[in-house]
Amino acid sequence: MAQTDARTHARTDSSHALEIALLRLDAELPPPAYAHPGDAGADLLTAVDVTLAPGERCLVPTGVAIALPEGFVALVHPRSGLAARHGLSIVNTPGTVDAGYRGEIKVLLINLDPADTIRLRRGDRIAQLVIQRVERARFVEVEALPESVRGAGGYGSTGGFSRG
C-alpha cells in the first residue's frame, strides 16, 4: 500500500520505494533502472552516441527528466567499472540534481585515459543516479564557533601515505 510522509509529502510504494515522477523525453530509450535489488544507484543511459578523445569532456543528455519531492536530491555518480576499465569519469562528480529541476538530466562525462579514445553508443549505461534525503540549512552567523577535537586541522593534518 502506498504511504505518504507527512513532512515531505513523499510517497513510497509497498516495497518502500520512493515514487518519483519521470518524464521520458526519448520514447525509445528505457528509463533508469536498478541493476540488482539493493543497489543504491539507478543506471542512466546516454541518449546519443559520444566519442571522447583523451582528456575530452562532453555534456551528455540522458533522455529523462524527473520531479523529486522536496527534501530529496539526486546525485549523478560515475560507474566504477567504466572508470576502472576506460578512465571514464564525471567532471563535477557527483552532479547535483535539485528537487526543483525539471529539465533533462545530463552527465558531464570526461575521458581521463591518457591514450585511448572512448566510444559510447546511444543506450549505453554511463552513470548512476543516487536519490538521497537532504537537509536544508538556515545559516546562523556567530562571533565564534564551538570548539572541537579537530579544530581547524585539515588538508592532511593527520598525515598522508606512510612509505617504508
Q: How many residues bind ligand DUT (CB under 6 A)?
A: 11
Q: Which of 140, 118, 137 is nearest to 53 (CA)?
A: 118
129 lies in the site for ligand DUT, by CB under 6 A? no
Element (H, E) at 74: strand 72-78
106 lies in the site for ligand DUT, by CB under 6 A? yes
Report d(CA 143, CA 152) in Å as an integer.
16
96 lies in the site for ligand DUT, by CB under 6 A? yes
Residue 96 is labelled as binding a ligand: yes
Report d(CA 60, CA 66) in Å as an integer.
16
Of 1-9, 49-57, 89-97, 143-151, which segment contacts ligand DUT by CB under 6 A?
89-97
- Phi, psi (rounded to 5 degrees) for 147: -70, 155
86 lies in the site for ligand DUT, by CB under 6 A? no
> Residue positions in the annotated binding site for substrate?
79-81, 92, 96-98
